């Protein structure tokens, strides 16, 4: 089997197993989604979902978050990893949304990346989830599983994103979510569930690959 054939078969199986894959973050609108994704960096979706109801109850709009007391925001998200930095970024982001985008969360990758605390991965995840945009976003799960399957040898998340985008070309929004769920529940960093893996024959290594 050639590399192209292997990639095509892996893509087919992921789409079959995770055809309706969506984020496990709980949100009601694009503002809440952006906040959730910002909080989820180096943190589990489960933990974010525990914290956000109280946060959104107190700050349901960018306008209110922009005016928030930093200590109150920190208190609300203190169980989240790096909560000090994230609290600062949330308030800065909200102020930028008010000042630069008329209080509306922007809808393009470059505009989202102009916001404090929003890198390419965060921007792509928002666009993937909210608009089903044809983007790939690479978190630790996507990085680990794509390397185990030999889909890329890239050392960084951004280069891995480029490699996967070129390899798969279409259905990237579904594939992103699929690889996240696959890495979270099957191809885990420690003790992967190989017996129930639907792409086991393509696995090259059980190493816990991490971006540099």
Q: What is the pLDDT of residue 120?
A: 96
Rounded-to-integer distance, Cα 176 and Cα 23, Å:
10
Q: What is the pLDDT of residue 186?
A: 98
Do 168 and 122 share a domain, yes or no? no
Q: What is the pLDDT of residue 20?
A: 85
Q: Would you say residue 174 lies in a domain?
A: yes
Q: Would you say residue 14 lies in a domain?
A: yes
Among 50, 48, 47, 54, residue whose Cα is nearest residue 68: 54
Domain interval for residue 61:
30-131
Q: What is the pLDDT of residue 76?
A: 98
Q: Would you say residue 207 lies in a domain?
A: no
Do 34 and 127 share a domain, yes or no? yes
Q: Would you say residue 208 lies in a domain?
A: no
Number of domains in the chain: 2
Do 42 and 118 share a domain, yes or no? yes
Phi, psi of 141 (to 5 degrees): -70, -45
Q: What is the pLDDT of residue 113?
A: 98
Do 52 and 66 share a domain, yes or no? yes
Could you state, in chain order, the average pLDDT of each consecutive group of 10 residues for the chain (212 residues)? 96 95 96 98 96 98 98 98 98 98 98 98 97 97 98 97 98 97 97 97 95 91
Q: Would you say residue 45 lies in a domain?
A: yes
Between 172-185 and 157-168, two packed helices, what is the crossing angle to 10 degrees?
Answer: 120
Q: Point out the residues that are catalytic.
A: 121, 139
Rounded-to-integer distance, Cα 200 and Cα 63, Å:
49
Do 112 and 186 share a domain, yes or no? no
């Amino acid at each position: 089997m050639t590399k192209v054939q292997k990639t095509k078969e892996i893509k087919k199986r992921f789409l079959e197993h995770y055809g309706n894959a969506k984020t496990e973050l709980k949100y009601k609108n694009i503002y809440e989604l952006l906040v959730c994704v910002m909080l989820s960096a180096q943190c589990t979706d489960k933990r974010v979902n525990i914290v956000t109801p109280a946060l959104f109850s107190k700050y349901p709009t960018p306008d209110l978050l922009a005016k928030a007391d930093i200590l109150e925001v920190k208190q609300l998200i203190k169980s989240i990893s790096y909560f000090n930095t994230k609290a600062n970024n949330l308030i800065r982001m909200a102020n930028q949304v008010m000042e630069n985008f008329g209080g509306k969360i922007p809808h393009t990758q470059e505009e989202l990346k102009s916001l404090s605390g929003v890198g390419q991965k965060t921007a792509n995840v928002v666009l993937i989830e909210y608009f089903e945009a044809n983007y790939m976003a690479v978190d630790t799960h996507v990085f680990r599983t794509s390397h185990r399957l030999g889909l890329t040898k890239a050392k960084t998340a951004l280069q891995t994103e480029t490699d996967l985008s070129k390899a798969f070309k279409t259905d990237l929004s579904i594939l992103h979510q699929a690889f996240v769920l696959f890495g979270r529940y099957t191809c885990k960093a420690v003790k992967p569930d190989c017996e129930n893996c639907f792409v086991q024959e393509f696995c090259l290594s059980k190493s816990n690959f991490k971006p540099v």
